[in-house]
C-alpha cells in the first residue's frame, strides 16, 4: 500500500503581515508542491479572520491553475452553511471546468467562531444537517435540467419560469468531472459523525492536524462503521491524514526552530490553545497526556506532542510509528505553515518529498497495515 504526499493549509499567518504578500507566499507554496510531486493541495475558507485570510479557496486556487500541472486542487473546505447551495453549485462547476477536472470538492460545517456569528449559521447540532442538505441540492442541480424545484428544511430552490431553452437561460452550469468532482469531508471531533457520513456517502475523509494523534484511529473506525452500514468496503487508501511536519538537515536545526516561542509555528499553536480553551472548550484534544491539568498545557508541550520534526531519518521514524499506531492511510497531508523563515520551509517541503516520502511509501508497501 503506497502513501502519497499532499498539502492542507488553512493557511495561517500573523495578522500583522501584508495581505498581498501572504497570498503570494501561499501561491508559491502550492506551485512548489506541484513541482515536488505532491498529489493534492487543500486550502481553507475563512471570511472574518486576519490570521486566516483566504476568503474564497476557489478564487485563490484559480490563480494557480495555470501555474501548476499535475497537482489536484481542493477546497479545505467550502463551509456549506454560510453559502446558498445554488452559489456553491455554479461556482464549483466553473472552477472544475477551469481546472479541467483537477478539483476535489472539500465541504464542511464551518468552525471559525467569528464566521458562525457573522452568518448566524444556526446551532452546532444543525450545521452538519445543513451540510448534507446543501450538498444534496448541489448534486441535484448538477444532475438535471430545469425546471428546478427543491424544497429543503434550510433552503428552497425554485427556478421554473425564467427558462429559455434556446439560449440555455435558467440552466445551472455543470462540472468537468461527471457525474461530479470527488467530495471530501473534514473530520475533527473524536467520535466524529462526519466520519460515519463520509463512509456512508463514499466521500473522502480528511483528518485534521490540529489535535493529538490519539484521535485519528477513531476517525477511521467511525468511517468503517459508515461504510459497513451501506455494505461498502472501507479502503484505507482514501483516508487523508494531515500533520504538522518540519524536515530539516539535522535534528539540531529542528530543535532550534521548535524551541523558539516567537516563530510562526509557535503562533499557530498559540492560536489553537486559545481557540480550544475559549471557543470549543476542547483543550483535551491538544493534551499530550489526558491526565495532565489544563494549566500544564503549555505551548512547548503542545508543539512537542503535535509536530513531527527533525532530520529526514527522524521524521521517517515518526511517520512509521504513526502508521503503526493508527493503521494505513493513503495520503499524508503536510500542514502548510507561515513561511517566517522561507528558506527553512521550502527546504522542509523538498526534504519531505525527496528524502522522506519515498522511503515511507516503500515501508508502507512492504508492511501490511493493521
- Which three three-digit cell numbers place residue 23? 497570498
Q: Give one DSSP letter per residue of 252-291, joined into a string.
A: HHHHHHHT-TTSHHHHHHHHHHHIIIIIS--GGGT-SSTT
Which residues touch 355 (CB under 8 Å, ≥6 apart)? Answer: 247, 312
**Residue position matching grid coordinates 425564467:** 162
pLDDT at 210: 87
Domain assignment present for residue 157? The answer is: yes
Identify the sign of the CA torsion 244, 249, 252, 256.
negative
Report how far Cα 354 is from the mean position of its chain's Cα atoms.
23
What cell numbers appear for 369 in the block?
A: 497495515
CB within 8 Å of 111: residues ≥ 6 apart = 79, 188
* Residues 41/335, Cβ–Cβ less than 8 Å: no
Phi, psi for 231 (deg, rounded to 5): 75, 25
In this structure, how many other beta carbons lie within 10 angstroms of the beta carbon of residue 242? 25
**Per the structure block, which three cell numbers stand in for 35?**
513541482
Helices within the chain (DSSP H only): 19-35, 57-62, 85-98, 113-119, 127-143, 193-201, 216-229, 251-258, 264-274, 299-306, 312-326, 342-351, 357-366
- Looking at residue 110, what is its pLDDT? 93
Contact 130, 83 (CB under 8 A): no
Let me know: does 34 contact 361? Beta carbons within 8 Å. no
In a domain, 136, yes or no: yes
The total number of structural domains that make up the chain:
1
- In tens, the pLDDT along 133-171 reads 999 999 999 999 999 999 999 999 999 999 999 999 999
Instruction: Name the residue with cell 487523508.
Output: 240
Q: What is the pLDDT of residue 279?
A: 59
pLDDT of res. 281: 78
pLDDT tens per residue, range 97-113? 999 999 999 999 998 99
Q: Is residue 301 a part of any domain in this protein?
A: no
In a domain, 258, yes or no: no
Query: What are the φ/ψ torsions at residue 193 (nearest 5 degrees)?
Result: -70, -25
Residue 137: predicted pLDDT: 98
Integer Cα distance of 12 and 57 in angstroms: 13
Under 8 Å between Cβ of 244 and 209? yes
User: Measured between alpha carbons, how far is 26 from 61 in angstroms, rounded to an integer?
Assistant: 10
Q: What is the CA radius of gyration of the chain?
A: 21
Low-confidence stretches of the chain (pLDDT < 70) are 279-280, 369-370
**CATH for 125:** 3.20.20.30
For residue 353, give the C-alpha cell: 518529498
Range of the domain at 30: 4-245+315-366
The answer to whether residue 306 sits within a structural domain is: no
pLDDT tens-digit profile of 213-248?
Answer: 999 999 999 999 999 999 999 999 999 999 999 999
Predicted pLDDT of residue 370: 61
Contact 131, 81 (CB under 8 A): yes
- In a domain, residue 268? The reply is no
| Domain assignment of residue 295, yes or no | no
- The answer to the question of residue 232 being in a domain is yes
User: Which pLDDT does position 368 carry in this prediction?
Assistant: 76
Q: Give the three cell numbers for residue 156.
A: 428552497
| Residue 124: per-residue pLDDT | 87
Amino acid at each position: 500500500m503506497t502513501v502519497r504526499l499532499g498539502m492542507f493549509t488553512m493557511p495561517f499567518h500573523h495578522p500583522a503581515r501584508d495581505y498581498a504578500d501572504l497570498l503570494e507566499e501561499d501561491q508559491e507554496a502550492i506551485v512548489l508542491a506541484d513541482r515536488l510531486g505532491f498529489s493534492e493541495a487543500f486550502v481553507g475558507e475563512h471570511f472574518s479572520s486576519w490570521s486566516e485570510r483566504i476568503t474564497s479557496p476557489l478564487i485563490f486556487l484559480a490563480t494557480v491553475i495555470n501555474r501548476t500541472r499535475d497537482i489536484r486542487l481542493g477546497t479545505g473546505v467550502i463551509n456549506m452553511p454560510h453559502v446558498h447551495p445554488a452559489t456553491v453549485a455554479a461556482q464549483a462547476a466553473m472552477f472544475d471546468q477551469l481546472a479541467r477536472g483537477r478539483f476535489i470538492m472539500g465541504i464542511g460545517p464551518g468552525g471559525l467562531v467569528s464566521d458562525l456569528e457573522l452568518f448566524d449559521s444556526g446551532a452546532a447540532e444543525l450545521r452538519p444537517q445543513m451540510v448534507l442538505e446543501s450538498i444534496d441540492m448541489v448534486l441535484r442541480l448538477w444532475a438535471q435540467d430545469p425546471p428546478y424545484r427543491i424544497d429543503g428544511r434550510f433552503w428552497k430552490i425554485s427556478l421554473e419560469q425564467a427558462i429559455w431553452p434556446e439560449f440555455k437561460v435558467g440552466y445551472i452550469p455543470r462540472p468537468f468531472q461527471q457525474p461530479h468532482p470527488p467530495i471530501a469531508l473534514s473530520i475533527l471531533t473524536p467520535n466524529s459523525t462526519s466520519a460515519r457520513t463520509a463512509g456512508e456517502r463514499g466521500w473522502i475523509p480528511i483528518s485534521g492536524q490540529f489535535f493529538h494523534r490519539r484521535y485519528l484511529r477513531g476517525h477511521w473506525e467511525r468511517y468503517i462503521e459508515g461504510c459497513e452500514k451501506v455494505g461498502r468496503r472501507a479502503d484505507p487508501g482514501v483516508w487523508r491524514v494531515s500533520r504538522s511536519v518540519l524536515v530539516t538537515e539535522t535534528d539540531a536545526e529542528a530543535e532550534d526552530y521548535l524551541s523558539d516561542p516567537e516563530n510562526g509555528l509557535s503562533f499557530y499553536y498559540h492560536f489553537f490553545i486559545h481557540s480550544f480553551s475559549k471557543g470549543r472548550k476542547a483543550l483535551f484534544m491538544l493534551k499530550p497526556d489526558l491526565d495532565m491539568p489544563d494549566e500544564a498545557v503549555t505551548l512547548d508541550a503542545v508543539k512537542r506532542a503535535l509536530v513531527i520534526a527533525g532530520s529526514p531519518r527522524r521524521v521517517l521514524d515518526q511517520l512509521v510509528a504513526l502508521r503503526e499506531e493508527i493503521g494505513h492511510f493513503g495520503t499524508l497531508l503536510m500542514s502548510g505553515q507561515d513561511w517566517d523563515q522561507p528558506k527553512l520551509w521550502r527546504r522542509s517541503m523538498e526534504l519531505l518529498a525527496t528524502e522522506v516520502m519515498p522511503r515511507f511509501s516503500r515501508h508502507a508497501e512492504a508492511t501490511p497495515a493493521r
